Amino acid sequence: MTSAPLAAVTGAEGFIGSHLTEALVASGHRVRAMAQYNSFSSYGWLEALPADVLDQVEVVLGDIRDPGSAHGLLDGADCAYHLAALIAVPYSYQAPRSYVDTNVVGTLNVLEAARALGTPRLVHTSTSETYGTARTVPVTEDHPVNTRSPYAASKAGGDRLADSYHASFGTPVVTLRPFNTFGPRQSMRAVIPTVIGQVVAGQRTLALGDLRPTRDFTFVADIAAAFLAVGTAPAERVVGRTFNAGTGGEISVGDLVTLIGKVMATPLDVREDPARLRPADSEVMRLVADASRLTAATGWRPAHTLEQGLAHTVEFFRDPAHLARYKTGVYTI
């Protein structure tokens, strides 16, 4: 009997990583999931997975900044999904070196492990933030890179390393570039959980940053499906290529808040908090994806509308056990 394929996941304890881990198990994969080492033996959001799902996951504590951790995780894997990263734009202004150490050097360690082990496929995670404010819309994968924050620059550095390893060593890398992902388990550093969490906690006057930027918000289950699509598609269709994952729709932050109020049947009053504003030249004002390349290569399409995804997210935050894991009154950078 042929054993199920083994998928290795970095950043598995995080928002998207935990959903991807769940989706991999549902699709019949064995999963080796890395959570960042900590003295509490915490598995992060992996601990929120149903027991019958977590029973199918080998959780290892490690750190992609250590080459040995990366090598151990990928050893024997049929496909590796590299999601581990520092992701908050505001904190990258305060601690840029940590972003280089994790997002660039950490990616280098994963690439080196995949190269040394002959890993059949490595899915590298990029971000739409590498594009900066859209010069043409919708944004295709050929749009110029225009990084506006240390976070975006560090992710672009990881992207270029991934490209170079494919070109130089034939490492079978695929890069997935999700646009703004949202859904259950997302941190309060993002606008949607910030709004929903504050409302569920009883607040009606919300503190937010700039309401003008537009984004392409994609539900996390659809992004997990995109990762699976590029991880399992025939190699000749995806290896060595970069793919956007997004809905192709855009909405301003201000209109998004109005929509959330409608979904929650709650009128909302928003005030601008200067602490939540990016530096003027660093803000990305418009992002909307062209994901036609991904659809053509794999057949992937988002299955959830924005309203459906918001309803699922509201349901998650209304669970007192989930809300208790958040500090709704604290601005998280």
Residues tagged active-site? 151
Tokens of 6: 């083994």
The β-bridge partners of 178 are 245
Question: Rounded to whole angstroms, what are the CA distances from 293 to 106, 163, 231, 313?
Answer: 28, 17, 15, 28
Q: How far apart are CA 130 and CA 283, in angstroms?
A: 12
Question: Rounded to whole angstroms, what are the CA distances from 264 to 180, 197, 309, 314, 329?
Answer: 21, 11, 13, 7, 19
Please return the burial class of 204, using the count of CB atoms within 10 Å of its CB with bins 0-12, 13-18 and 19+.
exposed
The residue among 325, 328, 201 whose CA lies nearest residue 264 is 201
The β-bridge partners of 215 are 251
Residue 325's CB is within 10 A of a number of other CB atoms, namely 11
Q: Is 236 helix (H, G, I), strand (E, B) or coil?
A: helix
Outline where the chain has alpha helix (H): 15-26, 51-54, 67-74, 89-94, 96-99, 106-117, 150-169, 191-200, 220-232, 235-238, 253-263, 292-298, 306-317, 320-323
Question: Rounded to whole angstroms, what are the CA distances from 35 to 40, 173, 278?
Answer: 12, 22, 30
Tokens of 54: 């977590």
